[in-house]
Amino acid sequence: MLNIFSVTAAACALLFTACNSAATKQPATDSSSVSTTTTSTTTQTVKKPGKMGTNAEIIARKQVPILCYHQIRDWRAKDSKTAKDYIVPIASFKEKIKMLSDSGYHTILPDQLYDYLTTGAALPSKPIMLTFDDTDLDQFTIANPELKKYGFKAVYFIMTVSIGRPNYMNKEQIKQLSDEGNVVASHTWDHHNFKKFAGKDWETQIDKPTKKLEEITGKKIEYFAYPFGLWNAQGLPELHKRGFKAAFQLAEKRDPNDPLMTIRRILDSGYWSAKTLSNSIKNSF
């Protein structure tokens, strides 16, 4: 019997390690700038037809900041020091989302990011992507209504084993997020380490969750996030083979041979103030 609490706790512990080690790395030194449509205040992309860029061209484009969230709730006495990195208190979350809006950020979705990275398609001014991992219910009850106040959209990386369990989103809630214009994407069946996938794991952790999420949303599932942010180069062709357009890790260096499958995100820590988040966004991408 799988204990979801221990899975999540393990995810947090490992994520913390991954993110922490990345935090000591130098920020990217990409010199090109994001091309923007300064008049646009919506999340609509002006699509430019263009040929697919090379990996070197993709790497050379300025990275779009991408934030990763888990639980949005107030801290409890029994939350561990490490867990609090993954739990953003409600008032703090609201303050951070307001800060992003007040600072002029516009949320974008994975198709826009993909078009930008591969063809140089224009993005709104100050683009940012908000992502939520692990299917936690408070992402639907707390985060989503807050994002709506500012016209923000987000990406929800769903771990399908937990759908409908207590404190996790159910099918109807996931469908609603999708219907409202957010993107539902895959985060495996039960959060196994991608680096250890072998044999039947590809079916269990990737193919079946994709099918389930496509049944729920009625849309193609084309994006993936690595559990714990962990990936290895050997596994990346398996994602291409299955039609994924891009995959998201945490803050490690991208694979120069496959930048679309190793897109970087930073974890917005529960300890961070809105000011700290603002600085981290500027320094990490």
Give the range of 110-118, 131-139, 244-252, 253-261 binding Zn ion by CB under 5 A.
131-139
Site membership for Zn ion, residue 138 (CB under 5 A) = no
Site membership for Zn ion, residue 85 (CB under 5 A) = no
Least distance to Zn ion from the beta carbon of 181, Å? Answer: 23
Contacts of 6 (CB under 8 A, 6+ apart): none
Site membership for Zn ion, residue 133 (CB under 5 A) = yes
How many residues of this chain bind Zn ion (CB under 5 A)? 3
Residue 204 burial class via C-beta count within 10 angstroms: exposed 0-12, middle 13-18, buried 19 and up = middle
Least distance to Zn ion from the beta carbon of 126, Å? Answer: 27
133 vs 201 by CB, closer to Zn ion: 133
Least distance to Zn ion from the beta carbon of 177, Å? Answer: 17
105 vs 189 by CB, closer to Zn ion: 189
Contact (Cβ atoms closer than 8 angstroms) between residue 206 and residue 188: yes
Phi, psi of 6 (to 5 degrees): -70, -35
Sign of CA dihedral 98, 78, 134, 66: positive
Q: What is the DSSP letter of 104?
A: T
Contacts of 174 (CB under 8 A, 6+ apart): 135, 156, 158, 163, 184, 213, 216, 217
Shortest-Cβ-distance residue relative to Zn ion: 133
106 vs 191 by CB, closer to Zn ion: 191
When computed from its CA atoms, the radius of gyration of the chain, rounded to whole angstroms, is: 18
Q: Which letter, b or e, does each residue of 96-127 get, where b requires 16 or more Cβ atoms within 10 Å of its Cβ?
A: bbebbbeeebbbbbbbbbbbbbbebbbbbebb
Per-residue mark of binding to Zn ion, 1-30 (x: CB under 5 A): ----------x-------------------
- Per the listing, tokens 């729920």 go with 216
Give the range of 59-67, 112-120, 125-133, 160-168 binding Zn ion by CB under 5 A.
125-133
116 vs 226 by CB, closer to Zn ion: 226
User: Bridge partners of 225?
Assistant: 248
Of 118, 129, 130, 134, which lies in the binding site for Zn ion, with binding defined by CB under 5 A? 134
Least distance to Zn ion from the beta carbon of 58, Å? Answer: 25
Alpha carbon separation from 132 to 70, 138, 160, 187 (Å, rounded): 6, 10, 14, 10
61 vs 70 by CB, closer to Zn ion: 70
Give the range of 53-61, 132-140, 214-222, 274-282 binding Zn ion by CB under 5 A.
132-140
11 vs 72 by CB, closer to Zn ion: 11
Report the amino acid identity of residue 18.
A
16 vs 116 by CB, closer to Zn ion: 16
Q: How many CB atoms neighbour CB 32 within 10 A?
A: 10
69 vs 93 by CB, closer to Zn ion: 69
Per CB under 5 A, residues contacting Zn ion are: 11, 133-134
